[in-house]
Every structure is written in structure tokens, then in C-alpha cells.
């Protein structure tokens, strides 16, 4: 299991418990990649309409649920 390492866009990830009251606790998201600005990363939380930006400091709180499948 990859935890807090580089993820590939399209990977399904889950946030660990971050802190009390954090909206990201135990949420599942699709990792969309790094933005290129300020080392932010984009994730699409399941059930949400908007893409969320997370700081690189949150990467250790992510675990890989499912790898992206390559289509041939």
C-alpha cells in the first residue's frame, strides 16, 4: 500500500484522520495531479462538484485505495 508518496493522476485515494472537525477526514477522492503552482495537488472528492486543492503537507495523510487502470 502506498501512503503519502507520489500518486498517479486517476488513482483512487482515501484521507486518513487528519484532525478533529476536518472535512477531509476519511473521505475518498480521485487524485488529479500536481498543479505546478506552490506544490499544490488537485483531488476530486467523491460526491462533490468542485475540484479541491490540497497542500503537499496533506500527502502523508493519503493512502492508495485503487491504482489507475491503463486502457489498451
pTM: 0.84
Question: pLDDT confidence of 37, banded at 50, 70, 90?
Answer: confident
Other CB atoms within 10 Å distance of the CB of residue 36: 7
Cα-based distances in Å from 51 to 9, 23, 48, 56:
13, 14, 8, 16
The percentage of residues in the chain with a pLDDT greater than 70, rounded to a whole number, is 93
Q: Residue 46 pLDDT more than 70?
A: yes
Q: Residue 34 pLDDT more than 70?
A: yes
**Residue 54's pLDDT is what?**
93
The full length of the chain comes to: 72
- Give the strands of the sheet with 12-15, arranged side by side: 52-54, 41-45, 28-34, 12-15, 62-66
Picking from 66, 71, 72, 58, the residue whose alpha carbon sits closest to that of residue 11 is 66
**Residue 47's pLDDT is what?**
95
Amino acid at each position: 500500500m502506498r501512503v503519502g508518496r507520489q500518486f498517479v493522476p486517476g488513482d483512487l485515494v482515501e484521507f486518513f484522520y487528519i484532525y478533529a472537525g476536518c472535512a477531509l477526514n476519511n473521505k475518498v477522492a480521485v487524485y488529479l495531479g500536481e498543479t505546478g503552482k506552490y506544490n499544490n495537488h488537485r483531488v476530486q472528492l467523491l460526491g462533490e462538484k468542485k475540484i479541491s486543492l490540497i497542500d503537499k503537507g496533506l500527502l502523508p495523510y493519503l493512502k492508495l485505495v485503487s491504482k489507475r487502470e491503463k486502457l489498451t
